[in-house]
Structure 1
Amino acid sequence: MSSQLFYKEGFLDLSGYSLVRADIDERWDNFVHNSPQGTLFSTSIFLSCLMHNKPGTWYCKKKGEIVAAVCVVESPDGSQAVEDDLIIYGGILFKKDRPNQNVAQTMSEHFRISAFLADELQRLYETVFINLSPNIEDLRPFLWYNYGNDNPKWQHDLRYTSYHDLSLIDPNGPLEKNPIYISASQSRRQQIKYGIKKGVITELSTDVERFLELYKLTFDRQDENAIGLMEETLRTVMFAILNAGIGVMYFSYTADGRLGSAAVFAWDNKRAYYLYGANDPTCRDDHTGTMILWQAFLDLAERGLPSVDMEGVNSPLRGHFKLSFGGHLVPYYHITFLNDRIKP
């Protein structure tokens, strides 16, 4: 790494680090569970749902001790680490901080691990795509890779999601004191009131096939390919999370019994995640799209989930809708590396 020249001598001695394949087993899930960067999307349940690509899981060791894990999606032949719409966050998962480490020591250790991985991953794969957790804040080892020369460099793409704090919600409390209602836009608060007044009903469901029917209606109308997710993959994911007891599906009906909206949420030991939503275009003015998220927030709070990640606000329409409920804007990064050895 050429940028080593401007570090303090010995700081970037990475000779003690190594990267070894990791089995996707109970040990892996425990590491994901305990890592501050670990999310639902790096667990065995979610990785097993990959249909066209395959998981690439690694342990980063320092003198034989596991200090981090890496979770990427590999192309079928394993030559590339690629983007897959199923896996929202992955990348680098640091080991849980030691109690006797102070902030400076932790930052330095994470920096060295990232510097090692910035070099090692581009050696392992022809091209590299990594979708980092929002809990990865320091990109400097990647930004400074091959600093000062004309060799290939890591590129980064800034993304945003929205977090809602559910910990202060009283699901049975008055509307006007609900923190999400208070932080929502005026028009969204009106939509919530209209939905309640018009008798919109939200219920739990396990009818995956009916969700998929509505989902296809939604994206036919929007002329999209279901955000790149195949119907088979969606079905696999929903059955997996529902059967494992780590997810729920909500259906919202108009007062006369028409299914207007559906939403799927799942969770890990840290927070809930909004996975998929669908709407019947003929019910656009019946407030089911608003009410399904509103009722989901209340139900997830009652289940004891401390927060919910709305999983992306990176297009104008979706971003406007999700952020109309308030929430906290949170940045995260996609980073990529294209090796010059595969250029024509």
Structure 2
Amino acid sequence: MHVRLATNQDKDKWNNFVTNSPQGSFMQSWEWGETQLAFGLPVWRLVVEDEGALLGVALVIERSVLFGRCWLYVPQGPLYGAEPRVWRLLNDKLRELGGGQKAIFVRCDPVIEGANGNDVLLLQSGWQKSEREVQPRHTLVIDLGLSEIELLGQMHQKTRYNIRLAQRKGVTVRFSGEASDIDTFLKLTREVEGRGLFHYHPANYYRTMQEVLGPVGLLEIGVAEKDGIVLAVHILVKYGERMTYAHGASRADRRELMGPNLLQWESIRRAQEQGYKAYDLFGVAADGSESDHPWAGITRFKLGFGGQRIDYIGAYDLVLDQSFYAIYNMARRMRGVLR
């Protein structure tokens, strides 16, 4: 058993491993690495193998900060099947890679549910809980093995009513992978940001996602409209057995048309029709959060569609430079200038 850097010849084997892993995520896919490269970020792909069989993988992305330093990030990974030997090889390689890049720390947020003791390998290997989450720690996942009647039945009554209301009012939904609909999405994001509700990535982030993931069928855009007026837009990522509602935006006016409700329902139906087993609503506030939580509104909206709440262990850091790590965290807390 050994660890090495993946080559382009490993692409199919890599994706097969990720899609068959219970903890697999599109953020550990080969194509997500290509997306990061298109953003201009350095990327490494680590594989653990034994006699040609993959046993673990880690997609690693370098993120620059001030003073010529960086940190390394393993989004929703690494994948090691809870096998301690595989984890140790990946951990040692991540430490070595971080040292070679003069990284302040390495951060990971594996898709591991947050039951007691599930972070033991991380803690025993010198990792510590991060002050900052990068990916949502809490989510809702809808089981697409249910019938349409069962899916509707698990929704809140008000959500079902709003879906029917949108249908009666003539709201329509369409799906595409076209770049023009990324522009449609971006127009709505500017309106949402103007209301002070959310902050989005730069426009090039979404355009690059579409350019890399769209042509290979991993990204689709859903649009709800009424009489040519766009009401809501979703960016959906499709990978393995799961469709993920990755990004969304809706207009402030015309709320009475309930476009976001119908668009979410049609996205769920589309995922089921295309054979996916799960629909991930990707990010809600923690159970019991206060009503003034920044995600309170979107959480209420998502909870209306039912699904199973899943809580992950969250982000952990392997600190390689204690002094700069303290400075980094202090700067983020005080000024929010480092990301």
Counterpart position of 1:334: 315
Counterpart position of 2:263: 292
Post-superposition shift, 1:75?
Answer: 2.6
Matching residue within 32, 46, 49 for 2:32: 46
Counterpart position of 1:311: 282
Tell me how far apart the structure 2 counterparts of residues 220 and 317 of structure 1 sit (CA, whole Å).
17
Counterpart position of 2:97: 124
Structure 1's 118 and 139: CA in aligned 2 closer, same or farther, altered over 3 A? farther
Counterpart position of 1:239: 211
Post-superposition shift, 1:52?
Answer: 4.6
Matching residue within 142, 147, 152 for 1:164: 142
SS at match of 1:112: helix
Contact 1:270 1:306 in 2 (8 A): yes
Tell me how far apart the structure 2 counterparts of residues 55 and 311 of structure 1 sit (CA, whole Å).
24
Tell me how far apart the structure 2 counterparts of residues 136 and 43 of structure 1 sit (CA, whole Å).
23
The normalised TM-score by structure 2 is: 0.76
Tell me how far apart the structure 2 counterparts of residues 112 and 27 of structure 1 sit (CA, whole Å).
20
Tell me how far apart the structure 2 counterparts of residues 63 and 305 of structure 1 sit (CA, whole Å).
32
Contact 2:224 2:233 in 1 (8 A): yes
Tell me how far apart the structure 1 counterparts of residues 40 and 46 of structure 2 sit (CA, whole Å).
20
Tell me how far apart the structure 1 counterparts of residues 184 and 69 of structure 2 sit (CA, whole Å).
35
What is the CA RMSD across the aligned residues, in angstroms?
Answer: 2.8
Counterpart position of 1:80: 71
Structure 1's 78 and 56: CA in aligned 2 closer, same or farther, altered over 3 A? farther
Tell me how far apart the structure 1 counterparts of residues 262 and 213 of structure 2 sit (CA, whole Å).
23
Contact 2:182 2:206 in 1 (8 A): no
Aligned pair count reads: 294
Post-superposition shift, 1:134?
Answer: 4.2
Counterpart position of 2:57: 69
1:257 matched to 2:228? The reply is: yes
- Deviation per CA, 1:107-137: give whole Å up to 9, x if none: 5xx1333345445433432301112124797
Post-superposition shift, 1:242?
Answer: 2.5
SS at match of 1:91: coil
**Counterparts of 1:1-344 in structure 2 under 5 Å?**
18-24=2-8, 25-50=11-36, 51-61=39-49, 66-75=54-63, 80-82=71-73, 89-94=75-80, 110-125=83-98, 126=103, 127-134=105-112, 138-146=118-126, 153-155=127-129, 159-170=137-148, 178-205=149-176, 206=178, 207-222=181-196, 224-226=198-200, 229-254=201-226, 256-314=227-285, 315-332=295-312, 333-343=314-324
Structure 1's 52 and 222: CA in aligned 2 closer, same or farther, altered over 3 A? farther
Structure 1's 284 and 265: CA in aligned 2 closer, same or farther, altered over 3 A? same
Structure 2 unmatched ranges of 5 or more: 286-294, 328-339
Judge which range, 197-206 or 217-226, deviates more: 217-226
Contact 1:36 1:93 in 2 (8 A): no
- Deviation per CA, 1:184-206: give whole Å up to 9, x if none: 12322221222122222112233
The normalised TM-score by structure 1 is: 0.75
Contact 1:261 1:278 in 2 (8 A): yes
Structure 1's 339 and 130: CA in aligned 2 closer, same or farther, altered over 3 A? same
Structure 1 unmatched ranges of 5 or more: 1-16, 84-88, 96-106, 147-152, 171-177
